[in-house]
Structure 1
Amino acid sequence: LLSSVISLYMSNDNLIHQNLSFILDIIVNHRLFHEPSNEEPNDELAAVYRKWTVRLNALLQSKNAAARWCGITLVKTTCENSHHLLVANAKTWSAQLLGFVGKTTEPVAIHQECIETLSFLFSYTIDKPELQREVATPNLQRYNQLLLQLGRKQDLLATVLSALTANVKCFPSTARHISDQCLQLCLSCLDGSRDLDDKTLKEANKCLVSLYIAGGKSMMAEQWKDSISRLIGSVHECLNRLFDTIDEETQEAELPKSYPFLPVASDYVDAFPVLIKRIQLVQDCISTFLTTSTSIVVGVPVVHLVDLICRIYNVYEGSLMRDYKDKSEFYTLMMCLPSLHLSTSKLFTSLLYCSGQEMMRYSKLFSRILLRLLSEHKQKRALKASVYKLVALCLEKCGYAFAESIHKPLIASILEDLQIIEKKAAAFATTNNQQKKSHKKRRTDVTNSDALTNKLVSAASTQVQIAALQTLATLLEVYGFALENGQRSAVDGTVLSRLIQMIQPTDMSDEEVILVKAELYQCLISSVTHPIETQASILPHASRLFSAGINDQSHQLQVICKKGLSVCDLIMHSRLPPVQRVLPKTCPTVVITA
């Protein structure tokens, strides 16, 4: 089969690019390079392999750029599927591919494919010392320098950063001498002065995170902490310029040192967009630090991160302006706050995922901040949804202590966002007094009662309702058993009434109605599985609603209702009675001995 592929689809350099996807499908689907054992291939297979290798080398030497690109792609596929061919040709192919990387005249597609293939080849030699001595060790230093040169091209930046990250992780000792250059390349991506795609920014974050490995085993933990501390200091330095008009509280602790980013313009009109973007990018990088696993134990600067988050959240539309400052700059800052708070929410989320229950000591602080944000962002859809998600995550990580301090105002906010408002549509008929009176109806007048009917409109957007319901489900799981009777009745009644409601809000599409219903059913499951002792259960109502929901048109709702009905059946099953709790004695028995 491999011989047929070579003769039928790879003979013409000018046409091979048209058949490349077909050739790759055949190789992968038929496993043409599958090697069931470690034995050498037989003579017949060895001859076919030689023919294949000769054809690939010819494609690599072709004058046609498209044919060279196809040859590189096939080399990569061959290495991924055949250990024998990789070992036999790794030295030759790596030398040829390095030559392509060193040629600045080659197209971007060839450079990109060469870098990806070389990264695979070098990474493959990690646990193979002999192959590493022949292939990786002689070429890595030159390869790293070529990558840094190609990093000046924005089209190749994501590929270059990915390759540098792989080299730092796999060969830290070789990458040690280029760590400073890699750092400068990553910081140039986080500067905020140019627009880069998301993939490039993600690769820059990964590369910056991996640089601690190049510092040596004894310095790795210290290097990691120093890097994240400098990123925190960089955000503070940007905030010093942004919050120049704000009357902030004096900070007692010394701020961490920052990275040497380029200075911004003195005029706030030009400086603010760059600063906001820089803060967002650096915060994303800090999130990558917090959510990326490390090979050693590292110390997370939780106090510095909490101080940074609080500093940003403490500036809001009601903040006081410093005396003798420009009002226009102050109002411009107010316009930037929503995007700043939104990016900080992502950083806050990463910190909660990273630290977990260690954040319990900040429960009261977080509850005060999040409640204030809920009231401030009442009319801002994206921000309010992000605050709800933060509350849900804090409930999961901080548990009962956080729920106890926030549940009352939180429930009030959620119930307000789940309300359905009935609006009356009024019909207005315009009259023209200057025209002659006529007893005939005009065509534009209302001729029926359709426009006079009442409309049901949801109080909040679909995004906010979904976030509120997810938070409510988490609250019921964490604190549902401790809610007061009135609060629990209000919550259960709202969920039941929304599910029973026949006429849906007119401002929601069918897809949005399904998404909200799915979260309502999840809240119902949470309520059923976390009952309150002093109140009648909503189990009978839930069972009927889940039974009816199985016949819903939406497959998503059917699956949720089947799960809910199974939970209800399990609770009510005659063979599974509830376990009787041992009640404590009303008064202790005291035995007095003389």
Structure 2
Amino acid sequence: MEHPLKTLLQLQLGSDSYAVLHLPYILASLTADSLLPSPHSAKWIARINSLLHSKAADARWAGLCLAHKSSVLSKPTMIECAQSWIGIALPVLSKKEPTPILSASVRLLRVLFSAASDVPEFQRQVATPNIAKFTAALIQLAEKHIDAEFKISVFSTLALLIPLYPTLHKTSHTALAALCLGLLNGNPFKPPNTALRRAASRLYAVLHFTGGKVGAANLWRKAIDETLAFGWVSFHALRTTFPNDGRAPPPGTSSDDPLLAIPLNVDRLRCSVLVLSDLLKTTTHRPVQVPLGALTQFAVALLSSTANERVDRHIDSGVRAMEASVTPQIWKSACELITCLANCVHHHLTPSLMRVVTCITFHLEQPLTASERLPFLTTLQVVLTKCPPLHAPVVITRLGKAILPLLSIVLAKHVDTRDENDAPSRSKKSKKRTREYEGDEVFKISREVVCATVAEGDALLAALAVLRLILRNPHLTLTVHSIASRIILSILLALGQMPPASLSPDPKFHPRLVQQVQALSTELSAGSPGGMSKSLGLVLNATLGDIHSLTNEPQVYNGVEVLLHPRLPPLMRALPPVEALSLFRAEKSQEENDECRALGIVGADVDVEPDVVMAEPPPTRIEIIPDVVLAQPPPPARLQTPIPSVSPQHPLKPPQSLASRNSEAPAPIHRQPVSPIKAVHEPPIPILVEEEKNEEMPAIDLGSDSEDE
């Protein structure tokens, strides 16, 4: 078998035009084994050099691409040819070349300067003399070039090289900072390029490395303070018609045109939060002190802003309306900053956790759109995962009450859809029988969809994930926990009857929602030793249903392990077993009824229809008369041996056998009213209700006395 390089040199690289034409095939067929030392390696390098020196632009581009691929796959080849390839690619950046050639040159030089950083001699002879020239050329390209993708490549290359060569970039710190801040200063005229802005922010976040091991910490803290002050100025410029926290509004903001000032400051606030997030994610040579108090104060100030605050001075109604309209964007920036803080500092955010969760809970209780609600739910999911459990029963219960109505929309839409389908059959004017065929709902264009947009679907999944974290909190009240468990069970039963098209236009949303609901139901049923045995079908459906999915293997194994070996360490709080959940409205407590009525989820129970009245009365049973307010608790001995009350005129008959009672037709049961005197002086007594005791009790003559006779 011939060597791969020999075949490529003879056929695909036979001429410059062939090299350009077959370049995708050549790059796909190259491997690390084909570039091992062989008799064809010298010919391969010579062919690449000939393409690099070609007069045709397309041939030079093909040579740069082949040199980059060879450098990535073979480090010895790169070290051998780095000096000559740098001498060809570096001058290209100073010439007026097409964008593909410039981009290929930048990618090749980035690999040559970064892949061999562990070879000191290569760094001393090759990288150090050329890295300053490369940085200066990249700065000029980033300032003059207009192509956004090429500028993103330039910024990412600089962000990669500065931590590797911090001392060599010390003289370029001012130029690099000005280059980054020019893109992070906001733009009110056109929508920002998110990818370009993120690349500039990442470059600005690594500029502190130019200060060395000693000065890097000071430069990082200075960047944090300057960015935080920039964010405060932008925030106060957006709240000129709202009460401030005692700080004077920035000078000049009141006289600026609000049509330009408000979009500009919104963009600047977004940029400041982005830079703060990247600065918190970067690394430093030595430990630094994070100004967590100032950062959390800024984040809570953004999060606490509302559109209904009043001021006692004259304000322009037009400016007030424009500033109120950008309040959701301020909330989104606050959520991004809090999410970054939770991911970076973890449990150090605990002192401010209650205030953050309280603010988010307040916003979730307001009527918001799905796109406005989604950042709050995403932030809650990160905060409740990264931080310790919240030790505040009032706050966590209030949060649970705010999340439950977001999930009950699935049940409400499910009931509405069913009632709408049943309406034609209930109509008395229609004389013909309504015929519904299987799959006929596909052609109904007036059907209401639960999650009509992507944001609504993401918000529903995020709310379900947040509820799962809330149910793990030991300080959640039992009433909210019971209501949430019944809602989850109702959703699980309703999803099996809902077609995926009525849930969301995305066909992948229905299985994702079912998977999360099944996982949460399994977790709830695993809280008691008897719950797993009673929910065997649910566990098997939730675990074995996705056993072929590699991403769900841990969940599958955990569910099966809990099912087979239920003797696990005790949980922080005993969850209510499945048999304790009230599945009917009559079994709910008054407190749960009040909570459901207050949350607007009265119709979200499992049995949405009233109980069926049986045609035949139930068989004879032991009935316990409900007790009233007792003066003292009844003695336990009397409860253990119940004594039926006997009338002298009607002696007590021996109880019938079970077979004789079952053979006879059951008679209706009549409950006698309890007199107040008997309820006060006597405890409740189980009374045997028999079929023969249906007649009225005879009146008792109180004047007669058997002892006098």
TM-score range, shorter chain: 0.7 to 0.9
Question: For residues 97 and 175 of structure 2, what CA distance do their matches in structure 1 show?
Answer: 24
Distance in 2 separating the partners of 1:121 and 1:474: 48
Structure-2 separation of matches of 1:374 and 1:250: 28
How much is the aligned-residue C-alpha RMSD, in angstroms? 3.5
Over 3 Å counting, the alpha-carbon distance change for 1:548 and 1:167 in structure 2 is closer
Of 327-336 and 12-21, more deviation after overlay is shown by: 12-21
User: Is 1:198–2:198 an aligned residue pair?
Assistant: no
- CA distance change for structure 1 residues 321 and 113 in 2, over 3 Å: closer, same or farther? farther
Q: What amino acid is the match of 1:117?
A: L
Q: Is residue 96 of structure 1 aligned with residue 88 of structure 2?
A: yes
State, as a whole percentage, how many aligned pairs show the same letter.
21
In structure 2, the residue matched to 1:12 is 15
Give the aligned residue type for 1:20. Answer: L
Q: Which runs of 5+ in 2 are unaligned?
A: 573-709
Matches for 1:497-512 after TM superposition, within 5 Å: 497-501=490-494, 502-504=496-498, 507-509=502-504, 510-512=507-509
Q: Which residue of 308, 333, 339 corresponds with 1:343?
A: 333
Structure showing greater radius of gyration is 2
The aligned amino acid for 2:19 is I
Structure 1 172/521 Cα, relative in aligned 2: closer, same or farther at 3 Å?
A: same
**Match of residue 393 from structure 2:** 404
Partner of 1:280: 270
Cα pair 2:361 2:398 within 8 Å, conserved: yes
Name the CA distance, whole Å, in 2 between partners of 1:548 and 1:207: 49
User: Matches of residues 359-370 of structure 1 in structure 2 within 5 Å?
Assistant: 359-370=349-360
Matching residue of 2:171: 177
Deviations 1:26-45 (A, max 9, x none): 222x62113xxxxxx5xxx3
TM-superposition CA deviations, 1:201-223 (whole Å, max 9, x none): 22212211111100122111111
Q: Secondary structure at the match of 1:216?
A: helix
Q: Structure 1 unaligned runs (5+)?
A: 35-40, 256-261, 430-440, 582-594
- Structure 2 residue aligned with 1:26: 29
1:154 pairs with one of 146, 157, 165? 146
| Structure 1: distance between partners of 2:517 and 2:395 | 21
Change (3 A) 1:577 1:349: closer
Match of residue 472 from structure 1: 467
Asked whether 1:136 is paired with 2:133, we answer: no
Question: Equivalent residue for 2:76?
Answer: 84
CA distance in 1 between partners of 2:485 and 2:25 (Å) = 58
Distance 2:383 2:359 in 1: 12
C-alpha separation in 2, matches of 1:564 and 1:457: 34
1:128 to partner: Cα distance: 2.0
For residues 31-42 of structure 1, what are the structure 2 equivalents within 5 Å? 31-34=33-36, 41=37
Counterparts of 1:132 and 1:338 in 2: how far apart (Å)? 50
Residue 75 in structure 1 maps to residue 67 in structure 2 = yes
Closer, same or farther: CA 64–3 of 1 in aligned 2, 3 Å: same
**What per-residue deviation string (whole Å, max 9, x for no partner) do you get for residues 69-88 of structure 1?**
11011111122222332222
Q: Which residue does the alignment assign to 1:189?
A: 183
1:168·1:210 contact (CA, 8 Å) conserved in 2?
Answer: yes
Matched residue type, 2:139: L
Kindly tell me: are residues 559 and 27 of structure 1, through their superposed partners in 2, closer, same or farther at Cα, counting changes over 3 Å?
Answer: closer
After TM superposition, give the deviation of residue 180 of structure 1 in Å: 0.9
Structure 2 counterpart of 1:305: 295
Q: Which residue of 2 is the match for residue 56 of structure 1?
A: 48
The superposition leaves residues 160-209 of structure 1 with CA deviations (integer Å, 9 ceiling, x where unpaired) of: 11221222111111100001111111111212226553332222122111
2:521 aligned with 1:527, yes or no?
Answer: no
Mapped pair 1:241 → 2:244: no
Q: Distance in 2 between matches of 1:459 and 1:166?
A: 42
Q: Which residue of 1 aligns with 2:692?
A: none
Give the Å deviation of 1:297. Answer: 1.3
Q: Is the 8 A contact 1:363 1:402 kept in 2?
A: no
Aligned equivalent of 1:437: none
Counterpart Cα distance in 2 of 1:129 and 1:561: 48
Partner amino acid for 1:109? P
Q: Deviations over 1:13-54 (max 9, x none)?
A: 1231221111112222x62113xxxxxx5xxx3x52222222
Match among 110, 114, 119 for residue 119 of structure 1: 110
8 Å CA contact retained: 2:211, 2:219:
yes
Distance between the aligned counterparts of 1:319 and 1:464, measured in 2? Answer: 27
- 1:438 — aligned with what? none
- Once the two structures are TM-superposed, the CA of residue 147 in structure 1 deviates from its matched residue by 0.8
Partner amino acid, structure 2, of 1:19 = H
Determine if contact 2:393/2:476 at 8 Å carries over to the other structure.
no
- The match for 1:218 is 214
TM-score in terms of structure 1 length: 0.82
Q: Conserved in 2, the CA contact under 8 Å of 1:514 and 1:554?
A: no
Shift in Å at residue 530 of structure 1?
Answer: 4.6
Residues of 2 paired with 1:333 and 1:114: CA distance? 47
Q: Structure 1 residues 486, 567: closer, same or farther in 2, change over 3 A?
A: farther
Determine whether 1:164 maps to 2:158: yes
Check 1:570–1:319 CA distance in 2 against 1; reply closer, same or farther (3 A cut). Answer: farther
- Give aligned pairs, total: 539
